[in-house]
Amino acid sequence: MTRSTIKFKKDNLERLKFSGKGRFYYAENFEALAIYVGKDEKTYYAHWSEPVTDKSTGKIKRIGKKKRLDGFHVPLDEIKEKVRRNLDDWKKQNRSIEGSLTMGGLASAFIKHGSGGYRVKVKGAKIKYKKKTTFNNNLLLSTYVLLKTKKPEIISMISDPFKYNGAGYVKELLKDIPLNRISKRDIEIFHTRMEKIPTTANRVLAALSVAFEWDMKRSVDRLYKGDSNPCLRISKYQESKDKKHLVLNKVVEVRDYCLNEQWRDPHFLTFYALLLEIGERLEDLFRLTWHKPRSLREIESCSGWLDLENKSIHLTDSKDRKEADPPLTDEAIQMLLQLQKYNSERKECALALGTPWIFPRATDSSKPINNNSYRVKLKYFNFKFGLATRELVRSKKTRKLYKYKNEYTFKHLRKTFVTHYARAKDSEGKERGLVQASLRMRHSSPKVTKDHYFTEDQEQLKVRKDGSI
């Protein structure tokens, strides 16, 4: 197949038009540079080829590689200079000077081919990774192993020399270490670099371990040649257990506000109040629909649907991969009915446009919300009730700009529900306790509920004199 080549000049590039299908054009006058002409934009790419040995024939063939650079708005001279400066480094990212693959190559291969597939450590039937797990693993490996981030604090944390066990300065990056000599010590050094962020360090270690396990299970085209996973038996950091929650009178105050002020921001307020009322996982509420979908495909795309007749939510894709029917309180039903009324009375609302989602995305109502949808609103709302702090960062005459810091996130609302549910009285006048709370939250054991959600500190159940938590 012949490829299209043109001289890379400003006039020539401006004349390129989308022809119904995305297309690459390669520079005649500059090696390793190409431009992709898509439907909506033009994008510069670097390109090169790498020699690879075909294991079946023993012959060497070349495999083309591409790296996305910048959009067409960036001057061509800047793009050329970027390629000249970085091309050699890009070529080295996936292989060592000996020609063998590196840890960076394994991480990239796992992100591309393995993270969205079947879980590697599971007995019995094959189970695919959940989308959230795939996203998190890819993000952690891209950010902390491949260093595909613009945050200087992360780059310096992983890249700067440091002493390990009191001995010499270590300079080598994990992603540059050849797989044929990767060791447990290399992983330990990498893990030690992130000691200031212990929770993240443990999650990155887990993602690395999964990548190694995935590669070791492949019967052909294995990258890592070791016989055991170098991430095993590495001591993890002790993680702090943040179990703070809202006191009961604060819960009542916030819930009453959400019930009475829904017309201001109904979708956000309903979402916030539901977390307090029923304590379900964020991911289960994100993709809820008003009614049961009609097709199997639609059912697979959602997490569940409302069942107001039975005063419950029917979940099909919860964390434990089992169907569940958590109950709805009268207050929760009232909130949802108010939201439904709001939607039906306003033509500009999402439901009037035909979306099935209870909480549609503001930018695209055909999609449900995600982790980032209400992040900014949450800061402003929490500050209103003393659950967030702010500091003035700069002031422009009449406009003041603040930086907000959340003290209570959406996950704290789930912990709030668990703590108060466990301490509430049942129909016989007895405290429900951890066992009932664990069953209600569908935890694997009461120990999980106690360790991660329930607050035993009695002082946290009291309101301070100033009304704060």
DSSP letter string, 262-276:
TTTSHHHHHHHHHHH
Collapse the DSSP code of 416 into the 3-class scheme (helix H, G, I; strand E, B; otherwise coil) and give the result: helix
CB 115 within 8 A of CB 137: yes
Q: Out of 177, 196, 217, pick the residue that ends a domain.
A: 217
* Residues 46-70, mean pLDDT to the nearest whole number: 69
Cα–Cα dist 314/289, whole Å: 10
* Residues 257-270, mean pLDDT to the nearest whole number: 84
Q: Out of 92, 122, 155, pick the residue that ends a domain.
A: 92
Cα–Cα dist 129/115, whole Å: 7
Residues in the chain: 469
Q: Are residues 188 and 309 part of one domain?
A: no
Q: Are residues 397 and 337 part of one domain?
A: yes
Q: Are residues 405 and 352 part of one domain?
A: yes
pLDDT tens digits, one per residue of 345-395: 765 554 445 788 999 988 888 889 988 889 889 999 999 999 999 988 887
Residue 170 has pLDDT above 90, yes or no: no
The pLDDT mean for the chain works out to 83
- The CATH number of residue 297's host domain is 1.10.443.10
Is 308 contained in some domain?
Answer: yes
DSSP string spanning 281-337?
-HHHHHTEESS--SSHHHHHHSSEEEEGGGTEEEESS-TTSS-B--B--HHHHHHHH
Is 62 contained in some domain?
Answer: yes
Cα–Cα dist 123/162, whole Å: 41
Residue 110 has a pLDDT of: 92
Q: How confident is the model at residue 275 (pLDDT cuts 50, 70, 90)?
A: very high
pLDDT tens digits, one per residue of 408-425: 889 899 999 999 999 988
Domain range for 108 is 103-217
Is 357 contained in some domain?
Answer: yes
Is 228 contained in some domain?
Answer: no
Q: Are residues 353 and 252 part of one domain?
A: yes
Residue 194 has a pLDDT of: 95
Look at residues 290, 292, 291, 286 and name the one whose alpha carbon lies nearest to residue 274.
286
Is 260 contained in some domain?
Answer: yes
Q: Are residues 313 and 192 part of one domain?
A: no
Q: Are residues 203 and 256 part of one domain?
A: no
Residue 98 has a pLDDT of: 34
Among 81-85, 253-257, 315-319, 368-372, where is mean pLDDT lowest? 315-319
Q: Are residues 84 and 22 part of one domain?
A: yes
pLDDT tens digits, one per residue of 205-247: 999 999 999 998 887 678 888 888 999 999 999 887 777 888 8
Look at residues 120, 101, 119, 176 and name the one whose alpha carbon lies nearest to residue 145.
176
Share of the chain above pLDDT 90, in %: 28
Local structure of residue 41 (DSSP, 8 states): -
Q: Out of 47, 72, 92, pick the residue that ends a domain.
A: 92
Is 452 contained in some domain?
Answer: no
Cα–Cα dist 449/455, whole Å: 10
Is 400 contained in some domain?
Answer: yes
Q: Are residues 197 and 109 part of one domain?
A: yes
Q: Are residues 280 and 402 part of one domain?
A: yes
Collapse the DSSP code of 168 into the 3-class scheme (helix H, G, I; strand E, B; otherwise coil) and give the result: strand
Q: Are residues 367 and 277 part of one domain?
A: yes
Local structure of residue 235 (DSSP, 8 states): P
Residue 310 has pLDDT above 50, yes or no: yes
Residue 132 has pLDDT above 50, yes or no: yes
Q: How confident is the model at residue 297 (pLDDT cuts 50, 70, 90)?
A: confident
What is the number of domains present in the chain?
Answer: 3
Among 62-71, 296-305, 343-352, 356-365, where is mean pLDDT lowest? 343-352
Is 18 contained in some domain?
Answer: yes
Helix (H) or strand (E) holding 167: strand 167-170
Q: Are residues 156 and 118 part of one domain?
A: yes
Q: Are residues 79 and 110 part of one domain?
A: no
